[in-house]
A and B are shown apart, each in its own frame.
Chain A
Amino acid sequence: MSALGALIRRDIRIALRVGGGALIGVLFFLTVVVLMPFALGPDLALLGRLGPAILWLGALLASLLTLDRLFMADHDDGSLDVILMSRTPLELACAAKALAHWLAAGVPLIVATPVLGMLLNLDGASTAAVALTLLAGTPALTFTGMIGAALAVTLQRGGLLLAVLVLPLSIPVLIFGVAASNAAIAGPLSFGTPFSILCALSLASLVIGPFAAAASLRHGLD
């Protein structure tokens, strides 16, 4: 356990230092959401209706932006070799790295949501609903994205590949994330149904992601 704790602490520390990925994701999220009202015009009702979808799209793209370096950085400097030779199972090491990425790059997005909600004419309750769905759904984005990040390691310049591989996997998360947010804001569906499916998607990806990523890393040894 101390090994995994050390890995999580190291990755968070690197992400928060100069040149790390944590702030880049939040800044991108901020940019996308701030630009939307200018593009859509000053129709407050329209902004309120589209708000949850805009926040979810912003969060999805922001989390993809920093994900491709998840394993690539460790591969490039040789750390991955040492991680492979450690006594920690590779699956757990992958899960720890994804958790660290979510803590450093995913949680700041959720924290920024209330501020950005104001720009999109969302009231307090609606913003809280979107933040709650993001809290439940962003782990799924990170843990499915991890599979693409592991595949990208074996192929040079796999950055675009990551987007192509990961986007189809993240579409269900996007659908149910936005559906749950809209259900909470406007109805008529109950909030519980899409939210439960969103949680299920996250839990399934927590299990499948580490195994798929570890298998891909092992297969791509070179």
Chain B
Amino acid sequence: MVDSSVVLYGQTIAYTLYVIVILLVMAWFSYQITRGGGKNIVKPALFYSFVGFLVVLGITLHIATHETIPWKPIDLNRDKIKADKVFDISIKDHRFRLPADTLRIKTGEIAHFRVTSDDLTYGFGLFRKDNSMVFQMQVVPGHMNDVMWEFVRPEVLTIRSTEYSGWKSDKMVLKDVVVIK
């Protein structure tokens, strides 16, 4: 099952390959424009093909992520999905208030995190022990901020604010408070 670490790994590979290709193309181009000879004409057909390629690339990216990243359709349809667990969390004075000391979830369950802020704009994110991110969202005061997530493997996660809310925001970390079994 795909989780965020798999997606991030895939993104790293894809973007790294792209960077290597574009660096090589620009190096080749920079060398070639200093040399004479050969054809100097650029056909309009090449230009139109490139524009078409960009259009297809841009649209394909979003379709591909919709079909391969599991949390994207869940997020778009979360008002129609019944969660297995609901956690109401509030934040005030740079402190999280959880419904229990530890939030316990089983693998395969869909959890619904409903987070509100009583003062500032914060963030809400879950992180693994190696500090990699599972997910995050913004927490805007005066609004319900909710995210639905299906956990696919057992792990212990840390909650931390993912948005700056003054220099105290660095301390907004609740270590190992989400347990996936």
A and B interact physically = no
Interface residues of B (CB under 8 A from A): none
Q: Which residues of A contact B (CB under 8 A)?
A: none
